[in-house]
Amino acid sequence: MSERLSPPAPRPPVNLAPSSWPRVAYLAFYFPPTRASGVHRSLATANHLAGAGWDVTALTPQREFFRDAIRSYDPSLDARVRADVRVDRVPFRSPAWETDIRRFSRFRGNFPLAHRVVSTRLERTLFPEPYARWIAPVVRRLLSLHRVTPFDVVLATGNPFSSFAAAWSFHRLTGVPYVLDYRDSWTLDLFTDEAVAEPGSAAYRWESRVLSGAARAFFVNSALLEWHAGRYPSAAPRMRVVQNGYEPDAVRVVERGRLPGNGLRFGYVGTITPHVPVEALVDGWLLARSKEPALGDARVDLYGHLGFFPAAVEATRSRLPDPSTSAVNYRGPVRKADLARVYGSLDALLLVLGGGRYVTSGKVFEYMATGRPVVSVHRADSAAAEVLSGYPLWFPAADLSAPAVAAALSRAAHAASVLTDDQVGAARDHARTYTRTAQLEVLERELCEVARG
């Protein structure tokens, strides 16, 4: 930390009656109204805890940062935050995202390259992440709130992992226990399966530090937990899996029924990033259509944003094929309120994922909840395969080659053509074990154990 923080007065002991619930500070940088990756887990976690009776304060940056700086903004998400969740917006200021020259310092305005070097080195000295300047303001705000009404536990979600450093710092000053929720990985590249920070690096030292002090650490799948347990064995007994899950209301599909003469509709729903193997899907799709009569009048509809940030839109769009020759149509983003309608309009779903064995994706749970055939276009060792392994309408491509993807599409097309109510019911039964509530009950139970000491 670059600033000295004074500890508050000694914290009184917590004596909770059996019917009372603790007070939790939830450090969630990416929280509504952003639409950034992981926001739905953050939103669901805050709502679940508040719904279970917890006193929840969510600390997140100012909405202008999401709207103006990174332009990852969906104001409709604000309405989905429960009224009893206190949202405390702690301003995040960083030169990296400041583009208004009227706010530039004289040094930056006259020597922009030198300013960038100095600013970057300063941030990396404090903490090895571009969001390091959020740590001190968050800790100050936590101390201020804690003096009025003490917190019993801090829950921090990453990325960014500055929230982990803030939780650790607050714990050092007050003794309040903290819990870490890894929505993402810090020192592991999910798309290459390789460590991006070696022992001795600043990121490795910080991750080791925060994990050693954490009362619990949650991971979205068992593969990620096992990797971190092997890297930080002393923290392994306190690690748990809390998968993403889905909200039943969002995917309560209304069956439209197949209309005579209408071709099958395959659909992808999710953000299309540079890591999504769009080319593998398209190559397999074109091959399947050339060989499978049932796909002659079928089409693929792609729903979702083109990347998380505006700068990625055109590059991502250029990867999409001509719809007039491919029958692959980009339909744009879909609102959460319209998800059930979109899923109901599709006959089969395409799970197209980048990365390898450590990637699950939040969409896999929604896909299963629809009761539709699911075609997997991702590496065979993906963590998503572990979730889908018991799903009766799963059609995985053996690899990412065009013949393998085409074979999976053909099998799914046949299944969609003869789908019965019993098959749909069995598929949805499998999905019910993965509701958000079922998964977050694990988190809540562990958090309560920590808060009660």
Residue by residue, pLDDT tens for the chain (453 residues) are: 333 343 333 333 333 333 467 999 999 999 999 988 789 899 999 999 999 999 999 999 999 989 988 888 889 899 999 999 999 999 998 666 555 555 655 644 555 665 455 556 655 666 889 899 999 999 999 999 999 999 999 999 999 999 999 999 999 999 999 999 999 999 999 988 999 998 989 999 999 999 999 999 999 999 999 999 999 999 999 999 999 998 887 777 656 555 445 689 999 999 888 889 999 999 999 999 999 888 989 999 999 988 777 767 888 888 899 999 999 999 998 887 788 889 989 999 999 998 888 998 889 999 999 999 999 999 999 999 999 999 999 999 999 999 999 999 999 999 999 999 999 999 999 999 899 999 999 999 999 999 988
Query: What pLDDT does residue 13 have?
Result: 34
101: how many CB neighbours lie within 10 A of its CB? Answer: 9
Contact 413, 298 (CB under 8 A): yes
Beta bridge partners of 23: 55
The reported pLDDT for the residue numbered 38 is 84
- Look at residue 52 in the predicted model and tell me its pLDDT: 94
Residues near 10 by beta carbon (within 8 Å), at least 6 away in sequence = none
Consecutive H or E run containing 23:
strand 23-27
* Direct distance between the N- and C-terminal alpha carbons of the chain, in angstroms, rounded to an integer: 28
The residues with which 158 forms a beta bridge, in sequence order, are 182
Rounded to two decimals, what is the model's pTM?
Answer: 0.83
Predicted local confidence at residue 2, as pLDDT: 36
Instruction: Check residue 98 and give its pLDDT.
Output: 58
Which domains, and CATH codes, for the chain?
23-244+436-451 (3.40.50.2000), 248-434 (3.40.50.2000)
Residue 152 per-residue DSSP state: S
- Which two structure tokens, joined as six digits, stand for 119? 């600013």
Predicted local distance difference test score (pLDDT) of residue 106: 63
User: How far lies 35's CA from each of 38, 40, 180, 243, 268, in Å?
Assistant: 8, 8, 21, 20, 18
Other beta carbons less than 10 A from residue 216's beta carbon: 21
pLDDT at residue number 313:
80
Residues in CB range of 166: below 8 A, 6 or more apart: 27, 134, 135, 138, 139, 142, 156
Asked whether 340 and 254 are in contact (CB, 8 A), the reply is yes
For 105, the token pair is 């310092």
d(CA 36, CA 317): 19
The pLDDT of residue 312: 74
pLDDT at 392: 97
CA quadruple 30, 34, 40, 46: dihedral sign: positive
The H or E element containing residue 213 is helix 202-213
In angstroms, rounded to a whole number, what is the distance separating the alpha carbons of residues 239 and 222? 10
DSSP string, 187-210: SEETTTTEESS-TTSHHHHHHHHH
Locate 71 and state its tokens.
């332009």
Residue 20: C-alpha distances to residues 23, 41, 53, 55, 151 (Å): 10, 25, 8, 10, 14
| Residues whose CB falls within 8 Å of the CB of residue 433, separated by 6 or more in sequence, listed in order | none
Neighbours of 281 (CB within 10 A): 25
